[in-house]
Amino acid sequence: MIRPMTPEDLDQVMEIEKRSYTSGWARATYEKSLASPSCRYLVEEEENRICGYAGIYLAPEEAELFTIACDPKYRRKGIASRLMDALLHILKDENIRAFFLEVRSSNEPAKSLYKKYGFTQTGIRKQYYRDPEEDALLMTLEL
Ligand SMILES: CC(C)(COP(=O)(O)OP(=O)(O)OC[C@H]1O[C@@H](n2cnc3c(N)ncnc32)[C@H](O)[C@@H]1OP(=O)(O)O)[C@@H](O)C(=O)NCCC(=O)NCCS
């Protein structure tokens, strides 16, 4: 079941975050972002267990994907795809025209997911990431 993320989900979300990103967000960043009216966070929950989550930032006509991650135990089961579908519904309701994201240049699973949804590479930020240092690819989906 996909539903909005709540602060009570953050224990489980932070566990997945640690296993999914080498330099993920701090819990306090999630708490602040969850409270922002410009952000929407979703979780996929099965039998009281959070299996994946995603978050976006909404601006007039534009949105940015902040995060999408799935518990390593539940990957390749369509969870990220279900989260993306739900996010795209939100974007449609909000009349968003362009959806942006940044991804590590070596992150093949994520790049493949985004390409499947029609994102194309529209830029590159050299040495944008740390731990390890790596370029960010900017990807865009016109809606
Ligand atoms: C990227 C990620 C969210 C995908 O989650 P997932 O639930 O396993 O993805 P899905 O099962 O919905 O797969 C959807 C598509 O993603 C791509 N994909 C997912 N895992 C992949 C892998 N290991 N290798 C290649 N492509 C992959 C495929 O295109 C797949 O479609 P297909 O199954 O028809 O081939 C997950 O690997 C993850 O949490 N990674 C760590 C966090 C991260 O890097 N997030 C992105 C930050 S920019």
Q: From atom 17 of ligand 1, which residue's Cα is the shortest distance away? A: 113
Q: From atom 38 of ligand 1, which residue's Cα is the shortest distance away? A: 69
pLDDT given for residue 9 in this prediction: 98
In angstroms, the Cα distances linking 70 to 52, 92, 102 are: 4, 24, 17
Assign 25 to helix, strand or coil: coil
Pick from 73, 50, 69, 140: nearest CA to 109: 69
pLDDT digits (tens, 9 = 90+) for 57-110: 999 999 999 999 999 999 999 999 999 999 999 999 999 999 999 999 999 999
- Active-site amino acid positions: 102, 114
pLDDT digits (tens, 9 = 90+) for 11-24: 999 999 999 999 89
Contact 104, 20 (CB under 8 A): no
Q: What's the gap in Å between 110 CA and the centre of ligand 1? A: 5
Give residues with Cβ within 8 angstroms of 61, minimum separation 6: 95, 96, 97, 98
Asked whether residue 121 carries a pLDDT value surpassing 90, the answer given is: yes
Task: Give me the residue spans of the domains in the chain.
Answer: 2-142
Dihedral sign for Cα 116, 81, 5, 22, please: negative
From the CA of 102, give the closest atom in ligand 1: 48
pLDDT given for residue 23 in this prediction: 87
Assign 63 to helix, strand or coil: strand
* Continuous segment of H or E residues that includes residue 19: helix 10-20
From the CA of 72, give the closest atom in ligand 1: 39
| CB 23 near ligand 1, within 6 Å | no
> Which of 22, 67, 70 gets mutated to test ligand 1 (max ligand atoms within 8 A of its CB)?
70
Which CATH class name applies to 2-142? alpha beta
